Structure 1
Amino acid sequence: MPRRKLRVKAADSARINAELAELRATLEIRTEWPEAALAEAERAAEAPRLPDYDATELPLFTVDPPGSRDLDQAMHLAHRPGGGYRVHYAIADVAAFVRPGGAIDEEARRRVQTLYFPDRPVALHPTRLSEDAASLLPGEPRPALLWQLDLDEDGAVVLADLRRAVVRSHRRLDYEAVQRAVDAGGADEQLVLLATVGRLREEQERERGGVSLPVPEQEVEETPRGYVLGYRAPTPADGWNAQISLLTGMAAAELMLDAGVGLLRTLPAAPPDAYERLRRTARALDIDWPDGLPYPDLVRSLDPDRPLHAAFLNECTGLLRGAGHRAFDTARGRPAPADPGHAALAAPYAHCTAPLRRLGDRFVQEVCAAVAAGEEPPDWAREALVDVAALMTAGDRRAGEVERACVDLVEAEVLSGRVGEDFPAVVIDVDGKRPGRGTVQLREPAVRARCDRAGTGPGEGADGESPGAALPLGGRIAARLTVADPATRTVRFAAV
């Protein structure tokens, strides 16, 4: 799919903003902060808990989307004496501002994670903290959890250490700027090392049997003309940055597993029949999958800009179902899972690098900081792990619901008034029980929506359509717009 932002008919911002406010009310999204929490945030911002260790001279930098202010992580990379690499990864120390059992803590447990609506984010913490006093904004001293991760020449971990520190980010970058600098050959040593270490960690992932899916994402952007839709495929710089975060999350998981207490992000292995279904899909899309080629290696060989490959990658997301959060505390009768791994990463993993935006990360940080210091984790953190795991799993579902509802609304607005028009489309998914029903992806506008073969629908038989009526998975079709209703956030097409 295209990597450029698509400019199409813009949907009216004022009308959509009103509808988004109504959507938040319908979904019971908490947007206002209790006065007690705001007052607590102001006091904490003026007097956070600061550690003794000063690491402000370490020239850290951040990589985030343009305009972001809730900056959780900053990094510094260097060659290690004797060979290999040293990664310093600083993570905002939210516990330096949030009092256990206080007003902010209580409200954050209701919100669970930051929700990103097209018109505004609904933050996990008061913005006085998340976009100001606790954020790793450039030039400002901040309390942080500072990881030191030493790697050998191949990118494998040889040492992982963690301590609290005062840090200062020296510059703020975005993914596209990093990619441009590396591609143009004008990157400084830090960005060259980011690319080098990122590629080494990708190779480590390959050797473990892990895989990352480069599926293009839909984006909603507000412009002076209104809201527009676009696709964005991850750049290599996205992947390098993600590998540093994953590296830290895997180090945190190992630290907690060794200590027998913590909170993991888990994903069960897909059942064998799921891979058999994928093999059938590959054959239908004329994708060569030799018997001896592992699934992760096949994924790495695909190009998401090619329609058939994009359709296959979309089908691969079915292997990622079942992700959750698992708390354990062996000293208190809750053993670690027998298989603590995350199937997509082929390693144990913990969310720990986004505490400004995810509730569970603060608790993982506290456990890891205590274990690294040779201390018992604080009771307030370990006693909450089971509840936080459940809250995070429910929060993930709600975040997915919010994201889909927002995109559905903008899609319907962008297409309103165009019912009856035909659009070039690619079939990216077909219903296994009703092959005349599936999902199509348009190039312009950047829309994904349900599509039915003409003549099928609610009145069809329970056994579905005849094979001749099946939508062609990965095929290019003309899709006729039949429904575009902003009131119900519904878009439907019929294959012509």
Structure 2
Amino acid sequence: MQRRLSAPDIDFDAIRGELGVDANYGQDALTEAENAVDRHAADRIDRTDIPLVTIDPPGSMDLDQAVCLRADDDDIVVDYAIADVAALIEPEGALDSESRRRGATIYFPDRSVPLHPRVLSEGRGSLLPDVERAAVLWTMRVSGAGEVVEVSVARARVRSRARLDYAGVAADAAAGRLHPSIVDLPRFGELRRRTALARGAIELDLPDQEVVRSPSDGPWTLQIAPRTPADMWNSQVSLMTGMCAGTIMADAGIGLLRTLPPAPADAVEQLRATAAALRVPWPDGATPGEFLAGLPQDAPSTLALMSHAGTLMRGAGYKVLDAGEPELTHDEMVHAAIGGIYAHVTAPLRRLGDRFATEVCLSVSAGRPVPDWVVRALPTLPKILRSADSLGSSADRESIDLTESVVLAGRVGERFDAVVLSAGTDKRPAKIFVTEPPVIAACSGTPDAAVRLPVVLAAADPDTRSVEFAPA
């Protein structure tokens, strides 16, 4: 008989084993990581004068990005340094091969399994404070209207001045004591968010569950991942950089894009119909993104509409631009949720494709041919990245399912308050959001969407990692 788990002793090793996620990189790859040297040291410009800072979750060691903003009349100049992972990995060597096998860092509540050995991802390659590092420096000038009017990218030596976190930055902004390097970050973030909504971008603000451990190795619990204004401000820097990179590659006809097809007209109409059924007005002329962004927070109708809006964002993928392949149309290149052409280039310590896309941007911007090792790799990357994305989603979902079932196992028969995210039918159970503990689960019966509903916990089985509710 399988031993029942309790919240203090949840072990995620079983999930890692099922998914085939391990930290064995092989001795050859590990040796390369331990002996990594900057292959482009002689080609770098010295930009250690820029007072860059990193903004990450507390305790993070794999620091991909460092930022500094400064106002120039109505413009904002953004310096964004990205860890130059490609300079530390021998092309088509053992470490390169091992990173292609993995595709991405995979996260679990108790620890991550990095894309690269920690000696590189949390050491030599990380933009840790007060040490010089190899970086790819993006410099972007943003007009008062929120548009990028100048962009450059080059290899540089940089030095971060401070390691900040989102909650601290948000608190400092509220208190008027932001670090001098990011005084203009709030203005920049709000400006870019407005321009994003105007070009049709869509943001889904659904509850984001997070498995965390109580202090002093206490029990594992569920919470809603905290979101601060600083999360949004910082994400706008990364999104802007990705759009600049996507445009560079699209114009050159070579590279790797992150894509999402435009929402089908019938999906938009169904969202409109759902809004009408819930008596939520849709302002004249508002795009789906503007409509969703204007909804009141925490209203049951908002949660239901955000959940329904997921139908607008299906079909995300990766597209390779190559002279040997048919030319893509604009709709085939665009990322509809971002509202433009976009590429991943800002997290090379954690995502495989960023390293190759960045190398394309550096070559195109310098007027050099893209290296052969990059050209050879590009056609192979979409399959690797799709597999890594799926694996990451499975790790996240299985970890949350296990924690939900363990936390609730002793509470079968109890009543809870919930909001119905999607209505149930004879063939499909409803999906509900229980606020405390924060659980998203199936509910029997056919309750309508966007209503508050008292429910009873009908089952919680850690062996199958399943939870089910029923209307009270």
Which of 178, 201, 212 is the matching residue for 1:187?
A: 178
1:483 paired with 2:459, answer yes
State the partner residue of 1:130.
121
Which of 103, 113, 120 is the matching residue for 2:104?
A: 113
Check whether the contact 2:460–2:467 (CA below 8 A) recurs between aligned residues. yes
Distance 1:190 1:212 in 2: 27
Distance 1:69 1:171 in 2: 13
- TM-score w.r.t. length of structure 1: 0.90
1:492 paired with 2:436, answer no
- Counterpart AA for 2:7: D
Q: Displacement of 1:71 after TM fit?
A: 0.7
State the partner residue of 1:214.
205
Q: Displacement of 1:195 after TM fit?
A: 0.5
Distance 1:107 1:197 in 2: 38
Check whether the contact 2:198–2:290 (CA below 8 A) recurs between aligned residues. no
1:354 paired with 2:347, answer yes
1:36 paired with 2:28, answer yes
Residues 88-111 of structure 1 show CA distances to partners (whole Å, capped at 9, x for unaligned) of 000000011111111111111111
Provide the aligned C-alpha RMSD in A: 1.7
Distance 1:216 1:177 in 2: 22
Check whether the contact 1:311–1:474 (CA below 8 A) recurs between aligned residues. yes
Query: 3-state SS of the aligned residue for 1:239?
Result: helix
- Counterpart AA for 1:74: A
Distance 2:264 2:16 in 1: 37
State the partner residue of 1:317.
310
1:335 paired with 2:327, answer yes
Check whether the contact 2:80–2:137 (CA below 8 A) recurs between aligned residues. yes
Q: Displacement of 1:318 after TM fit?
A: 2.2
Distance 2:329 2:21 in 1: 33
Distance 2:181 2:145 in 1: 18
Q: Displacement of 1:286 after TM fit?
A: 2.7
Q: Displacement of 1:191 after TM fit?
A: 3.0
Query: 3-state SS of the aligned residue for 1:79?
Result: strand
State the partner residue of 1:145.
136
5 Å-filtered alignment, 1:10-409, equals: 11-14=6-9, 16-17=10-11, 20-44=12-36, 49-50=40-41, 51-80=43-72, 83-223=74-214, 224-232=217-225, 234-330=227-323, 332-339=324-331, 340-409=333-402
Q: Displacement of 1:285 after TM fit?
A: 2.7
Check whether the contact 2:51–2:181 (CA below 8 A) recurs between aligned residues. no
Query: 3-state SS of the aligned residue for 2:350?
Result: coil
Q: Displacement of 1:337 after TM fit?
A: 4.0
Query: 3-state SS of the aligned residue for 2:420?
Result: strand
Which stretch shifts more, 349-358 or 21-30?
21-30
Q: Displacement of 1:152 after TM fit?
A: 1.3
1:442 paired with 2:418, answer no
Q: Displacement of 1:151 after TM fit?
A: 1.3
Query: 3-state SS of the aligned residue for 1:487?
Result: coil
Q: Displacement of 1:436 after TM fit?
A: 6.9
Distance 1:279 1:233 in 2: 29
Distance 1:428 1:440 in 2: 5
Query: 3-state SS of the aligned residue for 2:59?
Result: coil
State the partner residue of 1:423.
416
- Counterpart AA for 1:373: A
Q: Displacement of 1:43 after TM fit?
A: 0.7
Query: 3-state SS of the aligned residue for 1:384?
Result: helix
Check whether the contact 2:334–2:341 (CA below 8 A) recurs between aligned residues. yes
- Counterpart AA for 1:320: M
- TM-score w.r.t. length of structure 2: 0.95
Which stretch shifts more, 20-29 or 373-382?
20-29
Check whether the contact 1:214–1:233 (CA below 8 A) recurs between aligned residues. no
Residues 215-243 of structure 1 show CA distances to partners (whole Å, capped at 9, x for unaligned) of 22111101222111001353221111111
Check whether the contact 2:81–2:138 (CA below 8 A) recurs between aligned residues. yes
Give unpaired runs (5+ residues) of structure 2.
Answer: none
Distance 1:348 1:411 in 2: 38
Check whether the contact 2:69–2:78 (CA below 8 A) recurs between aligned residues. yes
- Counterpart AA for 1:12: A
Query: 3-state SS of the aligned residue for 2:245?
Result: helix
Query: 3-state SS of the aligned residue for 2:240?
Result: helix
Query: 3-state SS of the aligned residue for 1:149?
Result: strand
State the partner residue of 1:5.
none
Distance 1:188 1:125 in 2: 31
- Counterpart AA for 2:70: A
Distance 1:451 1:140 in 2: 53
Distance 1:286 1:219 in 2: 32
Residues 48-102 of structure 1 show CA distances to partners (whole Å, capped at 9, x for unaligned) of 642431111210011111111111000110123x541110000000011111111
Which of 473, 481, 484 is the matching residue for 2:449?
A: 473
Give unpaired runs (5+ residues) of structure 1.
Answer: 1-9, 454-469
State the partner residue of 1:459.
none
Q: Displacement of 1:289 after TM fit?
A: 1.6
Distance 1:40 1:351 in 2: 25
Residues 182-216 of structure 1 show CA distances to partners (whole Å, capped at 9, x for unaligned) of 11223244333000111111111122121222222
Distance 2:296 2:394 in 1: 28
Distance 2:387 2:276 in 1: 36
Distance 1:373 1:181 in 2: 39
Query: 3-state SS of the aligned residue for 2:410?
Result: coil
